[in-house]
């Protein structure tokens, strides 16, 4: 039998009332903490108390199903990255033009760290590698150490246009990160910054500000592209809470936590910032996003390290927002850099060209606009912009 896990919860149809669509019957029962629905076609749906949804379908229905759970294979045997549409109300997610296989290599040992990130208009990747979306217009607890309240928390502030800023609370110290501004307890500071009392370190590298803590947690904030990533060490697994999840290795319990982790007295209904209420011109809007998945494109050496599928869908989803596509592309480039590709030359005159102040130039290894002096002081950076020594199209 074929089993598919619907972690996104997009198919929220209640089949309890649909008992005669095909002349068959629907059986509803409870077993322990689960509610189960069985249809006349042999499809079983189980809804757990934690909100996880599992759909099991007979092999006889292969090729006839649709929706986010579908795992059809193409003629070459490669898994498709998305499913055909069920109805016009639930259109199919955009697919890369040539689906890429997931990396097949598996780690030889348990990972020592896990990373959670938020980018664009509410696209979240949890510590346990669940990718989903949340209404970014409200303040939320992104992560924190639950077993020691007040010791470490990261609060996310969002609104129109996506991520507005991040507040990090370590004991009695509050660090504010906003585009172009870093504050400690409300006072603007210059970087680098090192506090023996709180154990915090902050440094700027191009558009990014990186913070280290005595808990072993590293946070990177890019105010220019409005994304944030948090890397936590393995010993904190199971002790964390927030939108990023508890890092226990099970992504199923990371779903449906948005209301639970609203920050402070935030009680208003959060607005979903995704979409623009109109259908984009697909060929034109998706062209920049396709740079991520093209096998001859500037990101091709990263595909085996960071799969671009979910980033591609985030890019298309944010395409109608000003700068939306370039923000997602920059976040994917950062993920590639963290995976080992240190100087990914992907920008060009037709792909998110950087606008640098006079006297500076864009450097991919920083990344950001830097002066010649800053470039010389950064290991591995060149004196000026360069073209990549890669085959295929010329990317600057």
Share of the chain above pLDDT 90, in %: 31
Alpha-carbon 44 to chain mean position: 30
pLDDT in tens, 6-53: 334 344 344 444 444 444 577 777 765 567 788 877 787 877 554 566
d(CA 274, CA 49): 28
Beta strands in 251-365 (DSSP E): 361-363
pLDDT in tens, 233-287: 999 998 999 999 999 888 888 877 777 888 765 555 666 555 554 444 444 557 8
Helices (H), 91-188: none
Confidence of residue 70 (pLDDT cuts 50, 70, 90): low
Q: Lowest-pLDDT range, 189-198, 345-354, 363-372?
A: 363-372
**Which is more confident, 387 or 113?**
113
d(CA 345, CA 366): 11
Whole-number pLDDT of residue 314 = 92
Is residue 129 over pLDDT 70? yes
Is residue 190 over pLDDT 70? yes
Is residue 299 over pLDDT 60? yes
d(CA 389, CA 301): 12
**Which is more confident, 289 or 282?**
289
d(CA 192, CA 207): 14
Omega before residue 192 within 30° of 0, cis: yes
* Contact of 208 with 363, CB cutoff 8 Å: no
Is residue 195 over pLDDT 80? yes
Whole-number pLDDT of residue 219 = 96
d(CA 249, CA 257): 17
d(CA 377, CA 105): 36
Q: Lowest-pLDDT range, 81-90, 184-193, 299-308?
A: 81-90
CA distances from 257 to 164, 277, 321 (A): 21, 25, 26
| Whether the model pTM is above 0.85 | no
Confidence of residue 349 (pLDDT cuts 50, 70, 90): confident
Characterize 327-365 residue by residue with b for buried, 16 or more Cβ atoms within 10 angstroms of its Cβ, and e for exposed.
bbbbbbbbbbbbeebeebbbbbeebbebeeeeeebbbbb
């Amino acid at each position: 039998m074929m089993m598919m896990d619907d972690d996104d919860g997009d198919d929220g149809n209640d089949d309890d009332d649909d008992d005669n669509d095909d002349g068959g019957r629907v059986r509803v029962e409870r077993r322990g903490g689960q509610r189960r629905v069985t249809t006349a076609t042999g499809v079983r749906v189980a809804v757990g108390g934690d909100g996880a949804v599992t759909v099991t379908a007979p092999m006889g229905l292969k090729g006839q199903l649709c929706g986010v759970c579908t795992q059809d294979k193409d003629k070459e045997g490669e898994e498709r990255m998305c499913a055909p549409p069920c109805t016009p109300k639930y259109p199919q997610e955009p697919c890369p033009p040539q689906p890429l296989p997931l990396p097949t290599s598996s780690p030889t040992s348990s990972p020592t760290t896990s990373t959670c990130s938020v980018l664009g208009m509410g696209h979240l990747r949890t510590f346990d590698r669940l990718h989903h979306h949340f209404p970014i217009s409200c303040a939320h607890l992104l992560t924190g150490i639950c077993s020691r309240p007040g010791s470490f928390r990261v609060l996310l502030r969002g609104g129109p246009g996506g991520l507005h800023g991040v507040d990090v609370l370590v004991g009695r110290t509050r660090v504010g990160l906003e585009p172009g501004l870093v504050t400690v307890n409300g006072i603007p500071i210059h970087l680098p910054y090192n506090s023996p009392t709180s154990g915090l370190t902050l440094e700027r590298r191009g558009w990014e500000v990186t913070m280290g803590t005595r808990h072993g947690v590293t946070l990177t904030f890019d105010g220019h592209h409005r994304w944030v990533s948090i890397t936590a060490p393995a010993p904190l697994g199971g002790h964390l809470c927030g939108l990023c999840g508890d890092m226990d290795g099970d992504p199923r319990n990371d779903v449906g936590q948005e209301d639970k982790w609203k920050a402070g007295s935030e009680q208003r209904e959060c607005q979903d910032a995704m979409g623009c209420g109109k259908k984009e011109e697909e060929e034109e809007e998706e062209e920049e996003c396709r740079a991520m998945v093209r096998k001859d494109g500037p990101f091709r050496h990263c595909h085996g390290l960071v799969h671009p599928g979910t980033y591609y869908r985030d890019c298309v989803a944010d395409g109608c927002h000003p700068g939306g596509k370039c923000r997602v592309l920059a976040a994917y480039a950062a993920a590639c850099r963290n995976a080992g590709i240190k100087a990914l030359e992907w920008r060009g005159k037709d792909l998110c060209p950087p606008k640098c102040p006079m006297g500076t130039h864009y450097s991919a290894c920083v990344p950001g606009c830097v002066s010649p002096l800053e470039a010389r002081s950064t290991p591995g950076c060149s004196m000026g912009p360069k073209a990549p020594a890669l085959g295929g199209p010329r990317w600057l």
